[in-house]
Structure 1
Amino acid sequence: MFTCPSWSGLCRRGTDKDAAAGDQQAVEIVWTHEKEPGVGSPPQDETTGFYKALWSFEARDDEEVSFQKDEVLRVTRSSGGWWTAEKIVDGARKVCGFVPHNYLARSNTIDAQPWFFGQLNRFEAQNQLSAAGDESGVFLVRRSDKDAKGYVLSVGAVAAVKHFKIFQSVDGELYVNPGHRFQSLEELVEHYKHHPLPSTGLLTKPCARRRPNTQDLSHHTVDEWELPKSQFALEEQLGGGYFADVYRGRWKGMVNVAVKILKNDSLDHREFQLETQILKKLRHRHLISLLAVCTDAHPFYIITELMEKGNLLRFLQGQEGKSMGLSSLVEMAVEVADGMAYLESQKSIHRDLAARNVLVGEDNICKVADFGLARFVKEPFYLSESKTIPFKWTAPEAISHGRFSSKSDVWSFGVLLYEIYTYGKCPYPGYSNNQVFPLITTGYRMPAPPTCPADIYQIMLVCWSACPEERPDFSELITLLENTTRYDEWRPEGCTDAARPQEGASVAEKRGADVTH
């Protein structure tokens, strides 16, 4: 039986005086650039209090609370991905239970503004705004991915996205143009709804925010994620391969999921559980979320979030993929590198990075899949069936000596770039799988694809450095990719970015600039 914590014991910010103090504190956090929470993330200090629902949510069991967008909830306890909250209707408490924290933002703070998107890089902002079509003036405000204390105003224009750095003066005033300064982001946004920005015109409406996935199927599955197969209904098959078949599925008739049914019936049950327990803790916006496993009997099931557009390889080969421009291809590459940079930071190795193991979802967001599965699911098959070893994607030191590392993943990422810029063509065309390893050990590297920009090809080549230590890491790859294309960034006269490499600089020069600055 779920018991809601005491209203008076845990919720102390109910008075007008307390609320006013909370608002003032939030303003101070925003403008002094203290590290503040992103959209839907736990505040740094007191986490109980009033919150606004950014999206609607339907409860998945009796201990969870349903709510509608813009409803007010009072959080009484915050821990992990599921918080305890009381739903407030007409000032009175109605129901109490668990709610997903990433659906909420503290009331009367910048996080609750419909145009504030938290921390995003410019490629992600481009992706979000592109989903709105060519409508001019659609906008969002984001925290800079490179400078977590700074803000950027991103605005959709005809066939382009413009990014305006929001500067802060020594006395805390905010401005895009030094001639117009404001005390808050709200004032700045309101001003440009009535006064045009250079080359974009007026701000019209906030960009629509993507509804996030909950981190788990429900609050019950946070720790109890070994679930019976009977809870999952299989629908149409989405794909299949040497190691698994993948189906669209439904959990308890409520949540869409992907169900991967492994074909290897000799997997060790305990090893499988230990490995997946580690994988479940890896959470990132560009990694597929592992939601549950079913190991009560063979074949084992792996349950993940569902990505509606399938794997990146098939997407690129399809009509929608073939219509994507070069800037959109860079966005996809950056998102894959972002997910891999997180894996790298967690000392986790993918071992089988390729377009077939990247999934595409709503608004063409890309997420890395199958990370961590290669060692104990795929390698036994690879070793027994040598013709199926993915030589074309595998670094030479991994083939010859079994030396897998983040640097061998970087080699594979270079091949994935080739797949992206050829719209899904097989690498090393004209060569069989078994011909590739002796070929690359003699120094051969694939030529640039016909429509591939020169700086992208230079990134491929540095990924294919024979010496692993000479390959960049994934965080560096993100910077190199971002520097290959620039959206128009309007800056006031006299404001410069000394750290930005000059146009036409080589990859080596850009790497030097990134390290120096």
Structure 2
Amino acid sequence: MDGYVIMTMPVHRYVSLWDFNGSTTGELSFKAGDRFQAVEKTGDWWLVDRINAIGGKTGERGYVPMNYLAEEGTVEEQQWFFGELSRTEAIKLLMKDGNTTGSFLVRQSEKQDFVYALSVRINDTVKHFKILRDSVGDYHLNTSSFFPNLNKLIDHYHEKPVMKGLMLTKPCLKDEPTATDLNRLPLDEWERPREEFVLGNKLGSGNFAQVYEGYWKGRVKFKVAIKTIKQDMTNREIFQKETAFLKTLRHRNLLFLYAVCSIGDPYYIVTELLTKGDLLHFLRDGEGNELNLDGLLDIAGQVTDGMHYLEAKNCIHRDLAARNVLIGQNNICKIADFGLARIIPDDSYMSHSKELPYKWTAPEALEFGRFTLKSDVWSFGVLLHEIMSRGIIPYPGIPNSELLQYLKKGKRLSIPENCSEKIYKVMLECWNANPHKRPTFGELKITIDNLANYEPSEESPKPIKPKGFMAMLKRNAH
């Protein structure tokens, strides 16, 4: 073999964080601490070999829910690491019984200026701190103490206060995930027979579809939502093509699609069922009516996260509004109907259609039927107004027939009561008459997050650490 270099692929091993009892053929039961090597990582259920067993036989192969596993040797193994989590979710978790002052968690951030956030309970509130990273890769909360990894940072603040009177004590209690929240269907089994579904209570109706609570017989042990679309609204080829595209969209702030049925009338789209209903009713009559500014901004931020993902996929929503955002446990937000505009023929969305959501639609779409990602940004501005006004109907007293002229005169929605000028400025930027001058969802994502409140760390200041090459020289000198 002289002259040849044998390349070996890195082996990724995973450890289970909870016990799991497999309930169907092919599923592998395991105990917390079992270790696995992935054979096939597709979708939400991975085919694995057990390589170290606490509760079973070594060498067994089977399917396991991927959200029960963490990659060995990574931060995901830590009890205090919660992955992608919104501020509101972090607050709700930390305020649960069993957590006390000093209970904490680290959550992932997709923001521009920091990668992780540290959320800590103090009495009856939660403080949030940005975990920053410098040019040589060290983590810090301030310019006083730097750490080569998150473990060292957390260890440090167990012994030193993160702010006056607040030290880290124990990790936030972590809820076991639900394996039935995952979908084992590969794309080629996305089409399912109508007989597998049972319609239950009607949840709502729109211009193009009805939504029912339902069950998926023999597949899942929990309720699902079933959207029915009349066959004459679209042809089967378009329905199959577009829903297959939607199946590939995966983001925590998009409604998860499980399956479709395109044989028979009406067509079915089967999705996850969110228990708290739509954002509009949540803001008017539900828990959302009691949310503080931080909670309202968190909802807006989750919507921008989901829309930024759709923007990257060049997927236009066309009907972004509070009624089309659903709320789940811990106030996680999921954008719904993000593909309906792709399934329903375009002429149903033209400006002459009585079905058009006038008060959420950009002027160029009202006048010329011109829908783009930037017309979605206009709609987000109206949705942000709904959030800050807690569900007030836009443009009260102005009929649809007069709205376009009203907007062309440069008039806009007025600032909601108790809304800051900074937040209203974001709305006005979304409502720029020139679509090209409106922000992108990526920019909105950063803007909304910068409006949220993060605490400064109050550790005693020391000289600022030198950066770059000089920092490495100083470190190597020790």
Name the TM tier (shorter chain).
0.7 to 0.9
For residues 123-174 of structure 1, give each alpha carbon's deviation from its aligned partner in whole angstroms, at most 9, with x where no partner exists: x24531333228422212244433698554332224242305355696x776
Compared CA separation, residues 173 and 216, structure 1 to 2 (3 A): closer
Compared CA separation, residues 197 and 278, structure 1 to 2 (3 A): same
Q: Which residue is equivalent to 1:234?
A: 199
Compared CA separation, residues 177 and 275, structure 1 to 2 (3 A): closer
Q: 1:249 aligns with which of 206, 210, 214?
A: 214
Amino acid at match of 1:127: E
What is the 5 A alignment of 1:263-278?
A: 263-278=230-245
* Alpha-carbon distance in 1 for matches of 2:352, 2:435: 27
The alignment status of 1:84 with 2:50, answered yes or no, reads no
Secondary structure, in 3 states, of the residue corresponding to 1:276?
A: helix
Compared CA separation, residues 97 and 397, structure 1 to 2 (3 A): same
* Alpha-carbon distance in 1 for matches of 2:299, 2:307: 13
Compared CA separation, residues 457 and 352, structure 1 to 2 (3 A): same
Secondary structure, in 3 states, of the residue corresponding to 2:58?
A: strand
* Alpha-carbon distance in 2 for matches of 1:225, 1:66: 26
The alignment status of 1:161 with 2:118, answered yes or no, reads no
Amino acid at match of 1:451: N
Q: Which residue is equivalent to 1:466?
A: 433
* Alpha-carbon distance in 2 for matches of 1:262, 1:403: 24
* Alpha-carbon distance in 2 for matches of 1:385, 1:264: 22
For residues 206-239 of structure 1, give each alpha carbon's deviation from its aligned partner in whole angstroms, at most 9, with x where no partner exists: 2344666769854344431101122223333222
Query: Normalization by structure 2: what TM-score?
Result: 0.84
Q: 1:114 aligns with which of 79, 98, 101?
A: 79
Structure 1 residues not aligned, in runs of 5+: 1-12, 14-44, 497-517
Checking the alignment, whether the CA contact within 8 Å between 1:155 and 1:200 is kept in structure 2 is: no
* Alpha-carbon distance in 1 for matches of 2:200, 2:208: 19
Secondary structure, in 3 states, of the residue corresponding to 1:84?
A: strand
Calculate percent identity across the aligned residue pairs: 43
Structure 2 residues not aligned, in runs of 5+: 1-7, 465-478
What is the 5 A alignment of 1:323-362?
A: 323-362=290-329
* Alpha-carbon distance in 1 for matches of 2:21, 2:296: 35
Q: Which residue is equivalent to 1:74?
A: 36
Q: 2:377 aligns with which of 410, 414, 422?
A: 410
Checking the alignment, whether the CA contact within 8 Å between 2:158 and 2:169 is kept in structure 1 is: yes
For residues 91-120 of structure 1, give each alpha carbon's deviation from its aligned partner in whole angstroms, at most 9, with x where no partner exists: 732742122323310234321111113456
* Alpha-carbon distance in 1 for matches of 2:191, 2:56: 40
Compared CA separation, residues 184 and 374, structure 1 to 2 (3 A): closer
Amino acid at match of 1:231: E
Compared CA separation, residues 55 and 444, structure 1 to 2 (3 A): farther
Checking the alignment, whether the CA contact within 8 Å between 1:126 and 1:161 is kept in structure 2 is: no
What is the 5 A alignment of 1:60-209?
A: 61-67=24-30, 70-81=32-43, 82-87=45-50, 88-89=53-54, 92-93=57-58, 95-118=60-83, 124-133=86-95, 135-146=100-111, 151-157=116-122, 158-165=124-131, 176=141, 184-199=149-164, 201-209=166-174
Amino acid at match of 1:361: G
Secondary structure, in 3 states, of the residue corresponding to 2:282?
A: helix
Checking the alignment, whether the CA contact within 8 Å between 1:243 and 1:264 is kept in structure 2 is: no
Q: Which residue is equivalent to 1:298?
A: 265
Q: In the TM superposition, what is the alpha-carbon distance from 1:438 to its structure 2 partner?
A: 2.0
Compared CA separation, residues 90 and 410, structure 1 to 2 (3 A): closer
* Alpha-carbon distance in 2 for matches of 1:270, 1:434: 35
Q: Which residue is equivalent to 2:10?
A: 46
Checking the alignment, whether the CA contact within 8 Å between 1:344 and 1:406 is kept in structure 2 is: yes
Compared CA separation, residues 162 and 454, structure 1 to 2 (3 A): same
Checking the alignment, whether the CA contact within 8 Å between 1:128 and 1:207 is kept in structure 2 is: no
Compared CA separation, residues 339 and 97, structure 1 to 2 (3 A): same
Compared CA separation, residues 188 and 221, structure 1 to 2 (3 A): same
RMSD: 3.1
* Alpha-carbon distance in 2 for matches of 1:495, 1:130: 37
What is the 5 A alignment of 1:392-471?
A: 392-471=359-438
For residues 471-512 of structure 1, give each alpha carbon's deviation from its aligned partner in whole angstroms, at most 9, with x where no partner exists: 00001011111222322132664799xxxxxxxxxxxxxxxx
Secondary structure, in 3 states, of the residue corresponding to 1:245?
A: strand
Amino acid at match of 2:215: R
* Alpha-carbon distance in 2 for matches of 1:474, 1:149: 18
Q: In the TM superposition, what is the alpha-carbon distance from 1:67 to its structure 2 partner?
A: 3.8
Checking the alignment, whether the CA contact within 8 Å between 2:187 and 2:247 is kept in structure 1 is: no
Q: Which residue is equivalent to 1:23?
A: none
The number of residue pairs the alignment matches comes to 447
For residues 448-474 of structure 1, give each alpha carbon's deviation from its aligned partner in whole angstroms, at most 9, with x where no partner exists: 111211111111111000000010000
Secondary structure, in 3 states, of the residue corresponding to 2:162?
A: coil
* Alpha-carbon distance in 2 for matches of 1:90, 1:213: 20
Q: Which residue is equivalent to 1:289?
A: 256
For residues 294-333 of structure 1, give each alpha carbon's deviation from its aligned partner in whole angstroms, at most 9, with x where no partner exists: 1121111101112111111111111311111111111100
* Alpha-carbon distance in 2 for matches of 1:313, 1:173: 43
Checking the alignment, whether the CA contact within 8 Å between 1:391 and 1:434 is kept in structure 2 is: no
Q: Which residue is equivalent to 1:318?
A: 285
Q: 1:372 aligns with which of 332, 339, 343?
A: 339
Query: Normalization by structure 1: what TM-score?
Result: 0.78
Checking the alignment, whether the CA contact within 8 Å between 2:234 and 2:345 is kept in structure 1 is: no
For residues 378-400 of structure 1, give each alpha carbon's deviation from its aligned partner in whole angstroms, at most 9, with x where no partner exists: 75545698333211011111121
